Homo-oligomer: A and B are copies of this chain.
Amino acid sequence: MINVTVWNEFLHEKSNEAVINVYPNGIHEAIKAGIGTDGFAVKTATLEQPEHGLTEDVLASTDVLIWWGHMAHHKVEDEIVERVHKRVMEGMGLIVLHSGHFSKIFKKLMGTGCDLKWREADEKERIWTVNPAHPIAAGIPEHFVLEREEMYGEHFDIPQPDDLVFISWFEGGEVFRSGCTWSRGQGKVFYFRPGHETYPTYYNETVLQVIKNGIRWAAPSNAAAPVRGHHQPLEVIKAK
C-alpha cells in the first residue's frame, strides 16, 4: 500500500465558472477518484487548510505527494516548501503536474527557472512515448491525444532529465518534454505536463494511468539513509 497525498491549490475551482463545471469538487478530488484504491491509500490537502494541509504528520506518512498549483504559487509558505523538500531528500516521491512547473518546490528541486512557452487556444496535444522501457510507460500506447489542452513549448528551463519518457506534439507547432524524471536526495521526482484547469484532462484514462505509474515509480526505495559529516576511516591511514 502506497500512501499518496494529492495537494491542490484549489482556488480556480471556487471562483471560475468554467473550471467549476469541469472540476466541481476540485482537481484533487478528481485525481483521487481517478487513481482509485488499488494499492494506494489516498488523501488530499489544499492551500487554504492550516499549514496548507501539509503538517509534519501528514508528510511523515506520505510516500508520494502529487502537486497541482497555478495562480497562488507565491502563497505557499516557504516553511512548508522547506518541509516538503526535506521529505523528498528523505525519500518521499513527488509528482508535479502541469502548472506546478512554476511552484516553489519544483523550482527549488530543479535549481533552474522552470519557465516555458504557453498558449491557451483549445489546441490538440499528442503525447508520444519515447522510453517504452520505463515503468511510467506501463500500459501506455505509443501515442495518445488530448483534443484540447493548453500548449506548453520549449525551451522548458529544467535540468536535463534522468529519464525522458514522453514528448508532446502541439497543433500550433511546438514540442515539449512532457514526462521527465529526476532523483533528488533519496527521493524521486516526476513531472507530467497535461492538466489545464479548464479541460477534463484528469478524467482521461491514459492520463490517470500515467499518474498511477508515476506513483508506483516514485515510491520510496528504502535504501539506507546516508550518513554524512565527519567520518572515521574504514582503513588504516599511513603516516606521511
Contact = CB atoms under 8 A, between A and B. Distances in A.
B130 A154 contact: yes
A223 B157 contact: no
A117 B227 CA distance: 7
A121 interface: yes
A174 B128 contact: yes
A191 to B, nearest CB: 13
Nearest to A153: B231
Of A128, A133, A169, the most chain B CB neighbours within 10 A belong to A133
A147 to B, nearest CB: 6
Given A89-B112, A112-B185, A130-B154, A135 B221 contact: yes
A232 interface: yes
B155 A132 contact: yes
Given A111-B184, A160-B163, A237 B123 contact: yes
Interface stretch (A28-36, A44-52, A68-76, A138-146): A138-146
